[in-house]
Amino acid sequence: MIQNGFFGVINSIHFETELLEALEWDEEKLKEVTQKLIEYFNVCSKSDLDLIKVDLGFIFSDDISNIIIKYIKHVRLEIKKGEDDETWHIS
pLDDT tens, 8-26?
A: 555 578 888 999 999 999 9
Amino acid at position 86, single letter? E
The residue that leads in pLDDT, 35 or 80, is 35
Q: Which of 27-41, 48-62, 63-77 has the lowest mean pLDDT?
A: 63-77
CA pseudo-torsion sign 8, 12, 18, 21: positive
Break the chain into its structural domains and give their ranges: 2-90
C-alpha span between 88 and 91 (Å, rounded) = 5
Written as one letter, the residue type at 16 is: E
Residue 1: is its pLDDT beyond 60? no
> Quick one: pLDDT band at residue 6, thresholds 50, 70, 90?
low
Query: CB of 33 within 8 A of CB of 61?
Result: no
